[in-house]
Structure 1
Amino acid sequence: MSSESLQAGRQGSTWLKRWEPEDPAFWDSQGKALAWRTLSITTANLTMAFVVWFMVSALVVRLPNIGFDLTGSQLFWLTAMPGLAGGTLRILHTFLVPIYGTRHVVTLSTLLLLLPMIGWFFAVQNPETPYAVLLGLAFLAGLGGGNFSSFMPSTSLFFPKRLQGTALAVQAGIGNFGVSIVQFVTPWIIGFALIGGLAGGPQVATGAERELWLQNAALVYVPFILAFGLASWFLLRSVPVRANFREQLDIFKLKHGLLMTVLYIMTFGTFSGFSATFPLLIRQLYGDFENAPDPLAWAFLGPLVGSVMRVVAGPISDRLGGAKVTQVSAIGLIICVLAVTFFTSPTSLDQFPWFVAFMLGIFFFSGIGNASTFKQMPMLFTPRQAAGVIGWTSAVAAYGPFAAGMMLGLSVSFFGTPNAFFYWAAIFYTACLAINWWFYARKGAEAPC
């Protein structure tokens, strides 16, 4: 075989020779099946990425109970570190798919998730693990956060514009379920020995006779990460939309790219930030009462609501237009984030249901906005630019857990209440409401979408 033929064979195994989703004949004959298969596989991998990214939020509320001597500020920093890493790594992921292709990027980035999972598996079994090591492992958990900025742009390339709102909402919404999965499964999976005790011994919770196997919270996902990563290598292919790093930098010259980044901070920054900090907020605000609520018994509901609404709002945004739905999202966020401040200095557990209700309202409206903003972006840019803008906006908004963890910690330290952060959020949401209305939602807007 000649070197030219060998190279062609290698190219054919990864890069599709033709991809024209806007051509109805091509889409019906071969595009649709491959696009939905790709969506299914990458969504499964994205779900594992969110599991890894938010695993720390499920672990930190248990660490003080098993002998880790950590202050409230240190716990908030542990929840913030995956957000710092996720946002930073998303910047890198923004540019990967047009260079290396869907198949290579999804496979390698999924298998790298094994690093933080194995690290946490060992770390939680020793209460003497240095805080610096815990911070490093929390940062590594951000590998899961980075994947979003390559997986989602890849999906936008596989679908015609008329279906991109639905496809992106389905993938992101189901992927976001990873947050609820890790927060819901953790309390159950740490209650018994896995593999007949071969996965390590138990820890004894402080002030109780109950034994915990906290390492299970990381170990249980390892087989799924391996399976989904290998499936990506054998079943995925890459769309022949290619550009080097320098060519992709043109997205930073786009005015609407900057504006959509601000709007996505409002939606996904809110979702990711509160997903990471919701369990700790419950513990800090309501944990001193007798019969205090278990944070993880309630916290998973927030990401669950946000994820469901992202899936639901995708088709609605395709039908009504993303800008109108984003407007509803912003109004709802302003109302809920102000209302929750009335229940952050509780005098009894009677206020807890109201606190949870308005927090779930924040997740509800952020989920709607997550879907609608991803409908707006493909309508504003060319396919390659839209993929880049989706990746970049996702990268910036992924700093949500870091920003929320840090700012909530500072608010509590300085004022004894998280309300300062909530007030700042309300001001920011109001600015986003004005931006979306002026440029996209009003009659005669510059770029209706």
Structure 2
Amino acid sequence: MRARPSSSLPQHLSSAGATKHEVRLGRGHRLTDWNPEDTAAWEGGNNKIARRNLLCTMAGDHVAFSIWTLWSVMVLFMPASVYGFSASDKLLLGAVATLGGGCARIPYTMGIIAFGGRNWTTFSAFVLVIPTAGTIVLLANPGLPLWPYVVCAALTGLGGGNYAASLTNVNAFYPQRLKGTALAVNAGVGNLGVAVIQLVGLLVLATAGHEAPYWVCAVYLVLLTAIGIAAARFMDNLDHGGEPNHMRSILFERDTWVISLLYICTFGSWIGFSFAFGQVLEVNFLANGETAKHASLHAAQIAFVGPLLGSLARIYGGRLADRRGGSRVTLGVLGGMTLAAGMLVAISTVDGRDAGGTSAVMVGYVIGFMILFVLSGMGNGSVFKLIPSVYDARSRSLDAGEAQRRQWARAKSGSLIGICSAVGALGGVGISLALRESYLRSGTETSAYWLFLASYVIAAILTWVMYVRPPAAAPGVSKSALQPRSARV
């Protein structure tokens, strides 16, 4: 089916749903001449096509995120007395899963460019069946060495690859004025997969204890099958143009690495805390004298709230960035994250002096992490609004027609979304490794929190310098005549 201006849309494409379906099947579900900036065509039916693909993409992202963070739940079913793994071993599983997700993102972005959103979403859903089934086998056979668990955790990281690919696809489907909201909604609903799988794990823990972890995986085997079938049935393939070449070229651009660093601090913090928060809570509950079973249950009762709030905040962050500008929202988010990290440093220092811990200290930890979850979630949305805005502004200096300029900006921003989301996931690896090293060296998280605080300060300074600070006035030119950078991005 071809996406055309409304003046040339055949009548049957705007009314008869069955006819539209037959046409799509006849053309292999591939859309050509897609122009989301054509307002008449958008209102004449293209918005419905985009919405249908967005809904399927969101569902696929949601389940993929759940599989990516599967081991953050599974470690709660693995008491040291049965499996023989320490807290640092469990944090290693989270770090490996996060790293696997980061490494998969660029190949997955290239895959969706080469094969199309429908084909790639179908494939990526079915391939996640492998680590999900493998997790059942590992948990049913305690006493195995650590390395099979590490391999399985790395394969669950393929769920993180879905995220970058889906964002590139959504970016191409939606017009500039709606990108912030569309990307934030897709990512926010996808991010909710982290909270939902933790809720499923909590339900299993509360009803069957440590005896039936396979129910968590069984639920997702069914969901993965349903997502693969739905993607094949309802999604379309979109021509993404020359984005592979753009992906190579933007590796040498300053904006690529600055925005990637911002995403490391926002999304990287969110995904890293999602993996590690439950384990941090469990360690602290154990330090307060609780049994392993009760510590796991209490950790699960709290851990899902952070990812849930962060996922919802991402949607709001994208919408706020559409109104206020991605750069300003990102700067405010990083400032707030700096203060929250400082709060955790102070609480952890007090906790280190009082080895037994107190209820007040636990409440402080939970509040500090909840603030970080909400702000990092908002930052995820605002950074992804910043990306297409930067390239839209840069495209205005090109000596090209409107269509070429629009295609250049879309290809560049789609490629950068894939790259920075891959690099951003490394922030999650850093979170888990920093906490693991901090536990090994001192038995507390204090040094890790200091590292987080320093990272947020550096990112805030870069955001101000690169995207918010008004440019300096040239001699003889008034500052009022200059457009602030934040107005451009």
Normalised by the size of structure 2, how large is the TM-score?
Answer: 0.84
Shift of 1:166: 0.2
Q: Please show how residues 88-237 of structure 1 align to structure 2 within 5 Å.
A: 88-190=103-205, 212-237=211-236
Output the CA distance in 2 between the equivalents of 1:65 and 1:411. Answer: 20
Output the CA distance in 2 between the equivalents of 1:82 and 1:220. Answer: 20
2:70·2:156 contact (CA, 8 Å) conserved in 1? yes
Output the CA distance in 2 between the equivalents of 1:50 and 1:168. Answer: 15
Q: Which residue of 2 aligns with 1:362?
A: 372
Q: Is 1:312 the counterpart of 2:316 in the alignment?
A: yes
CA deviations over 1:118-154 (Å, ceiling 9, x no partner): 0111211111233211111111110111111101111
Q: 1:234 to 1:71 in 2, by over 3 A?
A: same
1:107·1:230 contact (CA, 8 Å) conserved in 2? yes
Could you tell me which of 299, 303, 307 is aligned with 1:299? 303
Partner SS state of residue 399, structure 1: helix
Shift of 1:76: 1.4
Output the CA distance in 2 between the equivalents of 1:378 and 1:213. Answer: 46
2:176·2:388 contact (CA, 8 Å) conserved in 1? yes
Q: Is 1:377 the counterpart of 2:387 in the alignment?
A: yes
Output the CA distance in 2 between the equivalents of 1:11 and 1:159. Answer: 24
Q: Is 1:336 the counterpart of 2:363 in the alignment?
A: no
Q: 1:11 to 1:131 in 2, by over 3 A?
A: farther
Q: Which residue of 1 aligns with 2:477?
A: none
Could you tell me which of 427, 432, 443 is aligned with 1:405? 432
Could you tell me which of 63, 72, 76 is aligned with 1:57? 72
The residue type paired with residue 44 of structure 2 is: S
The residue type paired with residue 315 of structure 1 is: R
Shift of 1:66: 6.9
Output the CA distance in 1 between the equivalents of 2:340 and 2:318. Answer: 22
Q: 1:85 to 1:211 in 2, by over 3 A?
A: closer
Shift of 1:420: 1.1
Shift of 1:43: 0.2
Output the CA distance in 2 between the equivalents of 1:340 and 1:167. Answer: 33
Which has the larger displacement, 412-421 or 377-386? Answer: 412-421
Larger fraction in helix: 2
Provide runs of 4+ in structure 1 moved above 6 Å: 8-11
Partner SS state of residue 267, structure 2: helix
Output the CA distance in 1 between the equivalents of 2:81 and 2:129. Answer: 24
Output the CA distance in 1 between the equivalents of 2:227 and 2:59. Answer: 7
Query: Gapped runs of 5+ residues in structure 1?
Result: 1-7, 194-209
Output the CA distance in 1 between the equivalents of 2:36 and 2:24. Answer: 24
Higher radius of gyration, 1 or 2: 2
1:302·1:360 contact (CA, 8 Å) conserved in 2? yes
Query: Gapped runs of 5+ residues in structure 2?
Result: 1-22, 392-408, 472-483
Shift of 1:339: 0.3
Q: Which residue of 1 aligns with 2:282?
A: 283
Output the CA distance in 1 between the equivalents of 2:442 and 2:210. Answer: 37
Could you tell me which of 393, 397, 407 is aligned with 2:420? 393
CA deviations over 1:248-303 (Å, ceiling 9, x no partner): 31121322122111111110011011110001111122322145651111111110
Aligned residue pairs, count? 426
Output the CA distance in 1 between the equivalents of 2:39 and 2:335. Answer: 38
Shift of 1:424: 1.2
Q: Which residue of 2 aligns with 1:15?
A: 30
State the percentage of identical aligned residues. Answer: 28
Q: Is 1:77 the counterpart of 2:77 in the alignment?
A: no
The residue type paired with residue 220 of structure 2 is: Y
The residue type paired with residue 58 of structure 2 is: T
Shift of 1:72: 2.3
Partner SS state of residue 237, structure 2: coil
2:310·2:373 contact (CA, 8 Å) conserved in 1? yes
The residue type paired with residue 146 of structure 1 is: G
Output the CA distance in 1 between the equivalents of 2:222 and 2:421. Answer: 27
Output the CA distance in 1 between the equivalents of 2:443 and 2:240. Answer: 52
Shift of 1:412: 1.4
CA RMSD in angstroms comes to 1.9
The residue type paired with residue 161 of structure 2 is: G
Output the CA distance in 1 between the equivalents of 2:247 and 2:318. Answer: 27
Normalised by the size of structure 1, how large is the TM-score?
Answer: 0.91
